[in-house]
Amino acid sequence: MKSIKNHLSLIVALISILFSIQVFIVVERSIDAYKENLAKNYSVVVVSEKRIANSEFLSIDGLINRVEELSPDNIINRLNTGMDQKNINLLKLTLPKFYKLYLTKFPTPKEITTLRKNLFSNPSISKIEDFSNNHDITYKLLVLFKGVILVFAIVVSIVTMLLILKELRIWQFKHSERMSIMGLFGAPTWLRSAVLFRLSIVDAIISSILIYLIFMYISTNRFVLQQFDNINIKVVIFDTLNDFFLLLGVSLVLSILLATMIVLGHKEEV
Amino acid sequence: MDKVILAKDVSLSYDSNQTIIKQATFSIESGSFVFVTGASGSGKSTLLKSLYGAIKPKQGSLIVGGVELNNVSKSKLNFLRRHLGIVFQDYKLIKEWTIEKNITMPLLINGYEKEVTLNQAESLLKHVRLKHQAGKYPMELSGGEQQRVAMARALSHNPILILADEPTGNLDEYSSQLIWNLLEGANTQLKTTVIVVTHHIPSTLNVDYKHYHIEYGEISEIN
């Protein structure tokens, strides 16, 4: 019981830091996945007087991923009120060409402006519809969401850091007596602080394992998965290898830093 | 005989305003038993602290176990302390460790194997009549029992010098007698030098001893 109490305080502080880091990672991934999804569905419609080859479009702006020529048949069918085939073919030749441009990623408003400028540098292009109004709203919502999550993560980190600093004082008080006594019997600094470092490393490992278990549960939770399905994205909630080692690294660095600060701040008892 | 402590014109103080020990000159031979007496606040504990390097002399020269303590390096001081057995008035046991682990601490610091440390702890616990309490924590023991643990810890690594600060200060007769017997045994059987700071020298002690008295910061030997 005593031993659990010794460990619990740091483990709780570490878990809250690791949790907020992982939540931020998941939100980042969700936004990226959502942006990718938007990019897949988002396109710019271009009207040109002359036919433009796909390769020419691709050379205009690196943002353009692929080009789809829109068939004029729909328009002609609507206009077709008893025209013969010869006139229809003639009309087809005089109609401007319509192209749908798919992009490599979901663009920022600035990228849209540059794209428009680059496209208009081609004299054949007469009109561009980029649906920028809708696009702007979606993009701004994403940026706002990301900003809110970032602020949330920063606030959680600050609060947890304050918790860790408080913990540092408690640890300093708790461990300084033992370190002083060992010092009176000639223990070198590394031996005096060995218990402290062992404790902090064990706590870092325990908190990483607990976070791993929490996120493993979350990543298989039906409710959570349903939320991602609702917005039609697939997100890796916890990458067993990369995320685990990243969080383990963070918790080890934090707890070793904490132990080092205690050792450096330790004043020998007279 | 070798001198285990050599003090020449040693002055001790906690701050620059008040000198607690004034220009003390004395020497203690290896294997001797020494009492240091004096009124409360006379500087007995301060003198003892200077012998294990917790306070550096403000003036003079102080050599303990061949180590000059005036400008001693951290590693040399640690080396000296590994060969001292210190008994504190307030026991200074590590609360979160069992008494067995407390006793083996100096052995652990000196790099002994775990098996050796456990054997030594068992033997010492038998000596201080606490074998049945090995797994308990200091706070679960009485003051007298805690001081017996501190005594066992001080003896565990066969130190060259035992420094005891009022080791029987608040103890009952049984525990006091046990402590004196252990100190006497270490001195007569193991030839360990023992320095005890105390208010009263026990009459039952069966050993030749030197007696220093501190008054107004001055140390004098009493014959």
- Which residues of A are less than 8 Å from B109 in CB distance? 182, 185-187, 191
Domain annotation covers residue B213: yes
Phi and psi angles of residue B200, each rounded to the nearest 5 degrees, phi first: -130, 135
- Which residues of B are less than 8 Å from A182 in CB distance? 94, 105, 109
Q: Which domains does chain A have, with CATH numbers?
A: 2-37+137-265 (no CATH), 43-130 (3.30.70)
- Which residues of B are less than 8 Å from A183 in CB distance? 78, 81
Residue A164: both structure tokens together: 């860790």
Residues B120 and B59 in one domain: no
Integer Cα distance of A176 and B53 in angstroms: 18
Coil, helix or strand at residue B163: strand
Q: Between chains, do B96 and A178 touch, taking CB under 8 Å as contact?
A: yes
Using alpha carbons, select from B2, B26, B22, B1 the residue that is nearest to residue B11. Answer: B22
Q: Between chains, do A6 and B83 touch, taking CB under 8 Å as contact?
A: no
Q: Do the beta carbons of residue B37 and residue B219 sit within 8 Å?
A: no
Structural domain total, chain B: 2
pLDDT score, position A229? 87
pLDDT score, position A86? 80
Query: In the structure, what pLDDT confidence band is assigned to residue A244 with cuts at 50, 70 and 90?
Result: very high
Integer Cα distance of B215 and B71 in angstroms: 27
Residues lower than pLDDT 50 in chain B: none
Mode of pairing for the β-strands spanning B3-12 and A125-129: unpaired
Residues B79 and B166 in one domain: yes
Residues B62 and B24 in one domain: yes
Query: In the structure, what pLDDT confidence band is assigned to residue A269 with cuts at 50, 70 and 90?
Result: low
B15, with CB counted inside 10 A (0-12, 13-18, 19+), is exposed
Q: For residue A270, is pLDDT > 60?
A: no
Where a domain ends, among B120, B142, B158? B158
Domain annotation covers residue B88: no
The DSSP letter of residue B132 is G
Phi and psi angles of residue A129, each rounded to the nearest 5 degrees, phi first: -115, 110
Q: Do the beta carbons of residue A208 and residue A246 sit within 8 Å?
A: no
Domain annotation covers residue B67: yes
What is the ipTM for the molecules in this complex? 0.91
Q: Between chains, do A184 and B54 touch, taking CB under 8 Å as contact?
A: yes
Where a domain ends, among B124, B141, B158? B158
Domain annotation covers residue B54: yes
Q: For residue A117, is pLDDT > 70?
A: yes
Domain annotation covers residue B59: yes
Integer Cα distance of A156 and A153 in angstroms: 5
Q: Between chains, do A178 and B80 touch, taking CB under 8 Å as contact?
A: no
Domain that holds residue B24: 1-83+160-223
Average pLDDT in chain A: 84
pLDDT score, position B31? 94
Residues 6+ apart with CB under 8 A from B116: B107
The pLDDT tens digits of the residues spanning A155-176 come to 887 887 787 777 777 777 778 8
Q: Do the beta carbons of residue A234 and residue A228 sit within 8 Å?
A: yes
- Give yes or no for A6 touching B (CB within 8 A): yes
Residue A161: both structure tokens together: 């850091």
- Looking at A72-76, A210-214, A224-228, which range is the least confident one? A72-76
A136, with CB counted inside 10 A (0-12, 13-18, 19+), is middle
Mode of pairing for the β-strands spanning B33-38 and B193-197: parallel
Residues B2 and B26 in one domain: yes
Q: Compute the average pLDDT of residues A85-105.
A: 83
Where a domain ends, among B158, B182, B209? B158
Domain annotation covers residue B89: no
- Mapped to the 3 state alphabet, what secondary structure does B167-180 carry? CCCCCCHHHHHHHH
**Burial profile B145-169: b = 16 or more Cβ within 10 angstroms, e = fewer:** bbbbbbbbbbbbbebbbbbbbbbbe
Instruction: Please indicate whether residue A259 or residue A77 has the higher confidence score (pLDDT).
Output: A259
* Sign, CA torsion B98/B103/B109/B115: negative
pLDDT score, position A1? 55
Q: Which residues pair with B61 in a beta bridge?
A: B8
Q: For residue A81, is pLDDT > 80?
A: no
Give the residue numbers in B contacting A (CB under 8 Å), as ranges.
14, 49, 52, 54-55, 75, 77-84, 86, 92-97, 105-106, 108-109
Domain annotation covers residue B110: yes
What percent of chain A stands above pLDDT 70? 95
Residues B43 and B150 in one domain: no
Residues B114 and B200 in one domain: no
Phi and psi angles of residue B167, each rounded to the nearest 5 degrees, phi first: -70, -20
- Which residues of B are less than 8 Å from A185 in CB distance? 81-82, 84, 86, 105-106, 109
The pLDDT tens digits of the residues spanning A26-53 come to 888 888 888 888 777 788 899 988 888 8
pLDDT score, position A17? 86
pLDDT score, position A6? 64
Q: Do the beta carbons of residue A44 and residue A101 sit within 8 Å?
A: yes
Q: Between chains, do B54 and A178 touch, taking CB under 8 Å as contact?
A: no
Q: Compute the average pLDDT of residues A213-220.
A: 93
Residues B3 and B79 in one domain: yes
Using alpha carbons, select from B54, B50, B55 the residue that is nearest to residue B7. Answer: B50
CATH number, residue B5: 3.40.50.300
Q: Do the beta carbons of residue A200 and residue A255 sit within 8 Å?
A: yes
> How many alpha carbons lie under 13 Å from residue B197 in its C-beta half-sphere?
24
pLDDT score, position A145? 83
Residues B104 and B68 in one domain: no
Kindly state the helix (H) or strand (E) to which residue A230 belongs, with its residue range: helix A222-230
- Which residues of A are less than 8 Å from B55 in CB distance? 270
pLDDT score, position A105? 84
- Which residue among A178, A186, A268 sits closest to B94, beta carbon to beta carbon? A178
pLDDT score, position A80? 66
Helices vs. strands in chain A: H and E counts, helices first: 10, 4
pLDDT score, position A108? 83
- Amino acid making up residue A72: P
Residues B66 and B4 in one domain: yes
Residues B99 and B204 in one domain: no
- Which residue among A6, A178, A187 sits closest to B109, beta carbon to beta carbon? A187
The DSSP letter of residue A66 is E
Integer Cα distance of A149 and A147 in angstroms: 5
Q: Do the beta carbons of residue A52 and residue A124 sit within 8 Å?
A: yes
The pLDDT tens digits of the residues spanning A44-79 come to 899 988 888 888 888 888 889 899 888 877 777 776
pLDDT score, position B6? 95
Mode of pairing for the β-strands spanning B3-12 and B21-29: antiparallel
Q: Which candidate in B79, B105, B146, B165 is best for mutational testing of the A interface (most A CBs within 10 A)? A: B105
Residues B5 and B78 in one domain: yes
- Which residue among A2, A181, A268 sits closest to B94, beta carbon to beta carbon? A181
Kindly state the helix (H) or strand (E) to which residue A183 belongs, with its residue range: helix A132-184
Residues B141 and B65 in one domain: no
